[in-house]
Chains A and B, each alone.
Chain A
Amino acid sequence: MLRFHLKMIKRNFLKDKKFLFNNILGLTLAFTAILFIYSWITYEKSFDKFYENSSRIHRFTVEFADAGSSRHFARVNTSWIKEFPGFFPEVEEMVRLVPGRNSSLKINNNKFYSQGVFSTDSNFFNAFNVKLIQGNANAVLDAPKCAVINQSIAKKYFGNENPIGKQIDWAHQQVPDFSTFTVTGIMPDFPKNSHFHPEILLSLDDPSQFAQWNYLYLLLKENTKPEAIQAKFSSFKNTYIEDEKSRESLVFHLQNVQDIHLYSHKDREIELNGDVRSITVLSIVAIVLLVVITLNYINFQIASVLERNTYFNVSKTFGAKRKSFVAQLALESVILIFISSIVSLGIYMLALPVVANWLNIDLILSTQTTLVIYLLALLFFVFLGVGCSIYPVFMSKMNGTISSLRIFNSGKSTSTDFSVRRVLVILQFVGGIGLIIATTVIIKQNQYLLSSRIGNEQDNIINLIKLPRKAIDNYEILKTELLKYPEILDVTATMEEPAGEVMDAFSYELEGMPEEDKDKVIYVLTTDDNFNRFYGNEIVAGEDFSENGDNTTKYLINEAGLKFFGYTNPNEIIGKRFKYNIPLPEKFFKEGYIAGVINDFHISTMQSSEKPMLLYNQPFFNYCVGIKYDPKRTSDVLVTLQNAWTKVNPDFALQHHFIDDLYFKLYKNQIRQSRFLILLAVVVLFISSLGLFSIAVYGIRKRTKEIGIRKVNGAKTGEVIVLLNQTFVKWVIISFVIAAPIAWFAMNKWLESFAYKTEISWWIFVGAGLFIFAIALITVSQQSFKAARRNPVEALRYE
């Protein structure tokens, strides 16, 4: 009997090779896509889970809830944290990670920059449970001026030499002069799915000093809940923070290290984090995909059972049991799923390196997970396959056996099955259209984010960012040197680079300000005097900095700041006296007046709205240099830049960034997401088309006789095609009518989380509709053309 079933399955497969191929192709694509989505989600969720102690490591952060504004930094700089271990017995280890922002390094005559240099406490390796490759984890950072480097740095700069005992020189913004460290250990490279990637860890010069900005990690004792510490925060504040006002405005937070990547969007994160929203979006796509492939499969299965109606019913008259049909259909499903699984696994393996590279992530699923996914898929689709086979098989029982024989032959009540399948196809298309619209909106939004820069002048700019102190001091010399060359068009400098974050805010005194505003803070961005001209910012009112006069009393404010100060008319604020309360010598920020209002240029991510800020011309803090060049001479520019730099700053390496790259980095998660979404939308669309194709073929096949008779009676080929296409076209229109409002609503919801949104334009809908329409028309027409051209004798043969 099994042999007989296998024979029937084989016959059925071979009879409809097209469908077999379609079905396997659809399943394979869906499985592959789901594997990738699952890998992506797994990867995003895997961050910082690799420490043995992950669940016990927490990061401490402080929120400054001043009147009117609230800032939540990922790092802290208060000295009372040194009391933590004494005050909270639950803390087993406390580790500070002091970032050496864009450190300058010299190793063996190599000069380079690194974002991965941190000064840290000697218990770092114990707390994070990092096994060293060389060196004793307990002692490597015990003494001052010790360094632990990672494997890549060791390999790159020491080659085959043993780095232990060798020297490296280090300097950065706050530490202008190079100081020498001795390598005492080698640590492994941190995995991609870590929220930070130290390349070099240095010992602190004086661990008892607590005033530096640092990321603070607490390793809690085993079986201790973070809540235990949180409950004692207020008594800690009462004990160690004297000023009542700051006690009130400080909110303490503990955050598990595993939550940082997906859930932390604080100011000055160590690295750019991911976003849990991307997981939501992908999960929705996965569900749409699953629904579409399921509908497709049901559709296929019902059609294929109906096609074999005679076989099933006649076999029954020989005494075949229903069970045996179900067994045969189940076996058929298993075979289909098995083939698709194997193929998709193969594709997954082959495509993995390419896709992972393209999306810039590690997408490795464990064999175990893969197996589980396949088992689930197998169960799911076998049940589904059997389920939608049972339906027509058992339907015959209710109607009395023979009626099903005649019903299916008369083609009358098949219309009910046809309508079930019609609903299935329509739903698939709803998914397809919805996804096209959603993907287009997401891409458009990402394009919008990417294309919006500081001002209007955004091309052909090279940025030198986070420069060392000495290079900042040499800025005017560098500028003069660079401007000697014709290929350099202009040079400017700012505190933050394009795509950077403006982070420094201070309280102020503004002429005529209300009393209750005196604790409010406003951000400051220092710039060179030509900043606005350089980037093409608009002066809305008043005047810009003067490029050859004295600017020391001039403050420019952006429109967000204008609003922040409570002004609506920009002209009214011009000339108002202004003074920052900055704990710095008076020479850095002089008392002055508001000289001009500029538009809200976008220096940081457009996911949040522009901060109210003031521009001030103070070269001391201009860590970043912008260089505008002649695009026709790009290759000369880099040579010129290198020569000028080496002449002015011989001690430091030159590291340049094209402005596009800076923004790409800022939006790298959005870009990855768009890319993945495009890929998935194509897959869903393709599967929907396969579904439509199948139903078109089946539907037309069912009408073969009708077509034949119409042609015998004189219908023209064109007329027949129109007749056949009509139905399908109707379906597409219905799908569109259902999908468009849903997509519109969902995308509005999605866009709500962005401060700056693209428009959901009408052309997206028209485009998506036309696109699907075209696909449907091509798919169906090809079939109807074939049917319409066929010789009617063939169709009417022995019917």
Chain B
Amino acid sequence: MIQLKKIDKYYDAKFQRTFVLKGVNLDIEQGEFISIMGPSGSGKSTLLNIIGFLDEPSQGEYLFLGDPANKLKEKQKVQYHRSHIGFIFQAFHLIEELNVYENIETPLVYRGVKGKERKALVADMLDRFNIVAKKDLFPSQLSGGQQQLVAIARAIIGKPKLLLADEPTGNLHSEQGEMIMKLLKKLNDEGMTIIQVTHSKENAEYGDRIITLKDGYVREK
């Protein structure tokens, strides 16, 4: 599904070039559950962003479903975002103007899902994450963990084929974290390809493979 070949990512400052990713090669098959680990600043989020078409590599080739990403038309990317890819951001990125219910609903709106069906799906999510009571609150009125739950619900409600999860359980109580990991595992079993970034060894074990990033290089175990 995903093939990264000699991917470089660097930022040019005035006099020097800082590499974030260096010669990254990675093959991910449909249905895999990958865990990415590595110290802060090692480029984990950057890698996820490249995979999710939110950022572009400086060098190297990225094939998504066999097509080179840099040749993809804007329209095609939009289509992938609508139907294939779901994000859980490290910084949540909930929409301030929308309440919990509406935040979760938004991807479905862009997908063109009918109102009735949306209602059922969102209700199901609220129920599953135990946040029915919070559905009318706005992000600024939620705790950090609650925001994360909403962000997760929003990412998986559309049943994307590829879920990119950047520290999905970072702000959660361990029991809740376990619940989320089990949920992700279940979704993976149902066929969803998942790439997660985590700092926890325990959570990383849920994946089929663990990839470690260090100073921009990939080391696979």
Hey, which bits of chain A sit against chain B, CB under 8 A?
Answer: 1, 4, 7-8, 11-12, 15, 308, 310-311, 313-321, 400-403, 405, 409, 797-798
Contact = CB atoms under 8 A, between A and B. Distances in A.
B121 interface: no
A644 B97 CA distance: 82
A313 B93 contact: yes
A403 B95 CA distance: 17
B96 A405 contact: no
Contact of A319 (B54, B79, B97): B79
A319 B111 contact: yes
Contacts of B94: 310, 314
Interface in B79-94: 79-83, 85, 87, 89, 91, 93-94
Interface string B173-208: 000000000000000000000000000000000000
A317 B81 contact: yes
Contacts of A401: 53-55
17 contacts: A8-B97, A12-B97, A310-B94, A314-B89, A314-B95, A317-B52, A317-B54, A317-B85, A318-B110, A319-B79, A400-B55, A401-B54, A402-B49, A409-B91, A797-B140, A798-B140, A798-B147
Contact of B54 (A12, A402, A797): A402
Given A15-B97, A311-B96, A319-B83, A798 B54 contact: no
A315 B54 contact: no
Select the residue from A12, A313, A320, A409 with max chain B CB neighbours within 10 A.
Answer: A320
Contacts of A317: 52, 54, 81, 85, 87
Contacts of A8: 97-98
A405 B54 contact: yes
B25 interface: no
B98 A11 contact: yes
B107 interface: yes
A15 B138 CA distance: 11
B32 interface: no
B97 A315 contact: no
Nearest to B144: A798
B95 A311 contact: yes
Contacts of A320: 78, 110
Contacts of B106: 315, 318
B82 A319 contact: yes
Interface in B38-56: 49, 52-56
A315 B147 contact: no
Contacts of B158: 318
Contacts of A314: 89, 93-95
A11 B162 CA distance: 31
Nearest to B151: A314
B137 interface: no
B97 A311 contact: yes
Contact of B56 (A12, A400, A405): A400
B72 interface: no
B109 interface: yes
Interface string B110-130: 110000000000000000000
A405 B89 CA distance: 11
Interface of B: 49, 52-56, 78-83, 85, 87, 89, 91, 93-98, 102, 106-107, 109-111, 140, 143-144, 147, 158
Given A402-B49, A798-B147, A319 B93 contact: no
Nearest to A797: B140
B84 to A, nearest CB: 9
Contact of B55 (A4, A313, A402, A798): A402
A63 to B, nearest CB: 71
A313 B54 CA distance: 10
Which of B93, B97, B144: most chain A CB closer than 10 A?
Answer: B97
Contacts of B82: 318-319
Nearest to B105: A4
A717 B60 CA distance: 53
Contacts of B111: 318-319
B59 to A, nearest CB: 14
Give the interface SS of chain A, mostly helix, strand, loop or mixed: helix
A316 B110 CA distance: 10
B96 A310 contact: yes
Contact of B78 (A11, A319, A402): A319
Contacts of B147: 798
B64 to A, nearest CB: 15
A314 B49 CA distance: 13
A572 B156 CA distance: 106
Contacts of A400: 54-56
Nearest to A7: B102
Nearest to A311: B95
Candidate in B56, B80, B81, B89 with the most chain A CB atoms within 10 angstroms: B81
Nearest to B11: A403
A318 B91 CA distance: 16
Given A310-B95, A310-B96, 6 more contacts: A15-B97, A311-B97, A317-B87, A318-B106, A318-B158, A400-B56
A1 B109 contact: yes
Given A315-B110, A318-B110, A409-B91, A308 B97 contact: yes
Contact of B81 (A15, A311, A316, A402): A316
Contacts of A321: 78
A383 to B, nearest CB: 23
A245 B144 CA distance: 100
Contact of B109 (A4, A310, A405): A4
B8 to A, nearest CB: 14
Contacts of B95: 310-311, 314-315
Contacts of B54: 317, 400-402, 405
Contacts of B79: 319
Contact of B97 (A1, A11, A318, A403): A11
Contacts of B143: 798
A538 to B, nearest CB: 75
A405 B54 CA distance: 9
B52 A403 contact: no
Contacts of A402: 49, 54-55
B171 to A, nearest CB: 9
B81 A310 contact: no
A316 B82 CA distance: 9
Contacts of B81: 316-319
A569 B56 CA distance: 89
B110 A319 contact: yes
Nearest to A409: B91
A721 to B, nearest CB: 25
Contacts of A15: 96-97
Contact of A403 (B53, B55, B93, B96): B55
B48 to A, nearest CB: 9
Contacts of A797: 140
Contact of B80 (A4, A308, A319, A798): A319
Contacts of B78: 319-321
B198 to A, nearest CB: 20
Contacts of A11: 97-98
A305 to B, nearest CB: 13
Nearest to B147: A798
B95 to A, nearest CB: 5
Best-buried of B56, B91, B93 by chain A (most CB within 10 Å): B93
Contacts of B53: 401
B193 to A, nearest CB: 17
Given A317-B81, A400-B55, A400-B56, A405 B93 contact: yes
Given A313-B93, A798-B147, A318 B55 contact: no
A7 B110 CA distance: 14
Contacts of B87: 317
A752 B58 CA distance: 64
A320 B87 CA distance: 14
Top 7 A-B residue pairs of the complex, sorted by shortest distance between their CB atoms: A319-B82, A319-B81, A402-B54, A11-B97, A318-B107, A318-B110, A402-B49
Contacts of B91: 409
A763 B35 CA distance: 72
A798 B144 CA distance: 6
